[in-house]
Amino acid sequence: MSEPHVIESQSIEQRRRRVAELTERLASSGHRLTPQRLFILEALVADTSHPTAEELFARVRQTCPTTSLATVYKTLETLRQMGEVLELEFSDGSNHYDALRPAAHPHVICEQCGRIEDVEVDGISRLQAHAMQASGYQLQSHRIEFYGLCQSCQ
């Protein structure tokens, strides 16, 4: 039980830093620090499950009930343009967001329950280099997802 606790504490500290970082970057790039935005930042960093805009909205409402869904979307778009949020697009009507690790990274996705988790695999940059060579494209980013069943759904 102590190991998870330590990990959890580190994580909380990391998240606090990330909120401070995002706040500072918004300010230094000429954006205003409105209460709504600060609550949205908190919600983004508090939720590690790759939430949707709707889920973030629900969470923000708990602390700032007057916030609108449109503001959540506008703030997500602002952060995305700043490169501070990773947007995972799905056409089935559910974009998911990750403000903790805004650089592209691989995910595993459960087709049963919809869970999305980070997964550590290496060799991605080598793969991208291969793809550049094979295609002649100048590649800068990627999207790598694996689909299957999570441990609970197996």
* Residue whose CB is less far from DNA, 68 or 112: 68
Cβ 51 to DNA, closest distance in Å?
10
17 token code pair: 């830093």
Residues in 56-75 that interact with DNA by CB under 7 A: 66-71, 73-75
23 token code pair: 């706040």
Which of 4, 30, 65, 123 touches a second copy (CB under 8 A)? Answer: 123
The site string for DNA over 22-51 (x = CB under 7 A, - otherwise) reads -----x--xxxxxxxx--------------
For residues 35 and 18, give the distance between their C-alpha atoms in angstroms, rounded to a whole number. 17
69 is an interface residue for a second copy by CB under 8 A: no
Residues near 103 by Cβ (< 8 Å), separated by ≥ 6?
86
Half-sphere exposure of residue 61: CA atoms within 13 angstroms, side-chain side: 9
Cβ 62 to a second copy, closest distance in Å?
26
* Residue whose CB is less far from DNA, 95 or 128: 95
B/e letters for 89-127, b = 16+ CB within 10 Å, e = fewer, are eeeeeebbbbbbebebbbbbbbeeeebbeeeeeeeeeee
Binding-site ranges for DNA (CB under 7 A): 27, 30-37, 52-54, 66-71, 73-75, 77-78, 91, 93-95
